[in-house]
Amino acid sequence: MPDPSALPPLTDALALARALGRLVRAETAPWLHQEVARRMAERLPVIKQAPERWLDWWGFTGGGAAAVQAVWPQARRSVAEPTAALAERSRQALHAPWWAWGARRQAAAQPVWLTGDVPPAQAQMLWANLVLHAAADPAAMLAAWHRALAVDGFVMFSTFGPDTLRELRAVYSAAGWPAPHPPYTDMHDLGDLMVHGGFADPVMDQEIIRLTWSSPEALLAELRTLGGHLGAARTPGLRTPRWRARLLAALAERAGADGRIGMSFELVYGHAYKAPPRPARGEPVTVSLEALRATLPKHRP
């Protein structure tokens, strides 16, 4: 695959900033994010060693704190947020009443960082629910995850796959419009990207879920809560009322016999470890005498 650092950005930075600003004002994380977090958490019991510390990447957006803590209540959580406003929102969510001393102590043990300030090599697990597809630079985000993890720590993440919103893409294509979202990466390419980023033993799988809405307006309103159109190739400026009316009519034509409009979402799940660093070619390798003895066959007297 091509060098990830040479790839153009997938998302528009200004559109992403606006979407993150809307999230600050939202009451909760999007419903779909909470549902995917629940499904991700169902996979956690296969991990043999529960982490002592885990990092919730874009914690408010991911909406997965309760799902993870239900599986591993003793694991200490910290949060990494992409903006100062979302970091403050996450800090407020940790506040407890003054009389709840135990809860206040637990909240104090859950620091909230900006993503650029996360201390390296601290977390045994990094949890990132439905954030990778929104990254302006996915390779840089993977590198940040790798840096934040302790050796032998692991990442659990989900993202949208290329079959997401294929019905909406068909509407746009038929009208001659560019794609309504940034390109979503195939899970096999994501696995290659993770190996390129230094992760070991990536395991990828996916599932398709289908959601329906009662009207085109309800559909577009919910898609807006998911971030809206973040693609770098998005049309600059505002669309006209005539364009919106045409879109609503095209979506209404796709309603099923029950009058509801369906959209598919491909959910890609990934899991990988941070392996110990390998010595560079030509560097000396030091082996202790005890380790060398352990490799020798044991002689019977």
Q: Does 200 fall in a domain?
A: yes
Q: Does 73 fall in a domain?
A: yes
Q: Three-class SS of residue 232?
A: coil
pTM of the predicted model, to two decimals?
0.85
Cα 239 to the center of its chain, rounded Å: 29
Q: Does 232 fall in a domain?
A: no
Q: Does 248 fall in a domain?
A: no
The angle subtended at Cα 198 by Cα 294 and Cα 154, nearest 5°, is 75
Q: Taking residues 262-285, what's their average pLDDT? A: 84
Domain count, the chain: 1
Tokens describing residue 50: 């529960």
Q: Encode pLDDT of 148-192 as tens digits.
A: 999 999 999 999 999 999 999 999 999 999 999 999 999 999 999
Residue type, 87: A
Give residues with Cβ within 8 angstroms of 117, minimum separation 6.
none
Other Cβ atoms less than 10 A from the Cβ of 62: the count is 26
Q: Encode pLDDT of 56-98 as tens digits.
A: 999 999 999 999 999 999 999 999 999 999 999 999 876 544 4
Q: Does 295 fall in a domain?
A: no
CATH code assigned at 15: 3.40.50.150
Q: Encode pLDDT of 92-149 as tens digits.
A: 876 544 444 444 445 445 799 999 999 999 999 999 999 999 998 889 999 999 999 9
Q: Does 103 fall in a domain?
A: yes
The pLDDT of residue 228: 87
Q: Does 48 fall in a domain?
A: yes
The pLDDT of residue 96: 47
- Go through 227-256 and write b for each residue having 16 or more CB atoms within 10 A of its CB, e for each that does not: bbbbbeebeeeeeeeeeeeebeebbeebbe
Q: Does 171 fall in a domain?
A: no
Domain residues for the domain of 135 are: 10-163+183-209+267-276
